[in-house]
Chains A and B, each alone.
Chain A
Amino acid sequence: DAMVIQNPRYQVTQFGKPVTLSCSQTLNHNVMYWYQQKSSQAPKLLFHYYDKDFNNEADTPDNFQSRRPNTSFCFLDIRSPGLGDAAMYLCATSRVVTDTQYFGPGTRLTVL
């Protein structure tokens, strides 16, 4: 089945230690998104890629970076995680930006 896969499902890191979250898709969608969802809050879009074009949300901290080496994969890098970065990170894809988004199961990040 075509799907959006996120690895790992649970990630624990230490304060200030860089961490990378992974997302892959078999849908061959052009657009890939990264969201941050804190407990009992709405998902907040961090950035998205349309093909290789990177689109950063204005209020996304510089601590968050992303890479998309090819159509299938997209990575979220947190350069120096703080306690406030503990959250669920959701990856989503869509065929084009106007289309429905398909979400992965998320990676829950804990920062010690």
Chain B
Amino acid sequence: AQTVTQSQPEMSVQEAETVTLSCTYDTSESDYYLFWYKQPPSRQMILVIRQEAYKQQNATENRFSVNFQKAAKSFSLKISDSQLGDAAMYFCAYRGPTTSGTYKYIFGTGTRLKVLA
């Protein structure tokens, strides 16, 4: 069965510094998608970045980038030049096919990021 693990329940970073959030996953599939979502307090979840498993190049969106290691099944998120508005819960998510022909969407338990002024 597919699983997504975020081993860091909480992280802190100083404003303007860089922080990396970890995510590992387990799947026997070769074609899948990985996502990082951000959920600010009392606000809706939004997509931060997305990675297709068939692409070797790491996805980048402005200050956000990922380190996708397919063989190691690792998908970490790097936030550069951290800003106060980056404070939120970050969820790693996996989306891929199942053996029954349907699709599975699995979220990790989240990492709460605090940004210190």
Minimal Cβ-Cβ distance residue in B for A103: B45
How many residue pairs between the two chains, A and B, have CB atoms under 8 Å in the bound complex? 40
Q: Is A42 an interface residue (CB 8 A)?
A: yes
Using C-beta atoms within 8 Å of the partner chain, give the interface range for chain B: 20 to 34
Interface size of A in residues (CB-CB distance below 8 Å): 20
Name the A residues within 8 Å of B103 (CB-CB).
97-98
Identify which of A33, A42, A105 contacts B110 (C-beta below 8 A).
Answer: A42
In contact, B45 and A41 (Cβ under 8 angstroms): no
Task: Classify the secondary structure of A's interface with B.
Answer: loop
> Cα distance A22–B46 when bound, in Å?
20
> Cα distance A33–B107 when bound, in Å?
14
Name the A residues within 8 Å of B78 (CB-CB).
none
CB distance from A16 to the nearest CB of B (A): 29
Minimal Cβ-Cβ distance residue in B for A31: B103
Name the A residues within 8 Å of B75 (CB-CB).
none
Name the A residues within 8 Å of B102 (CB-CB).
55
Identify which of A42, A45, A100, A106 contacts B91 (C-beta below 8 A).
Answer: A42
Q: Is A90 an interface residue (CB 8 A)?
A: yes
Q: Which 9 A-B pairs have the closest CB atoms?
A: A42-B107, A103-B45, A105-B44, A42-B109, A97-B103, A43-B107, A100-B47, A103-B44, A45-B105
> Cα distance A90–B105 when bound, in Å?
14
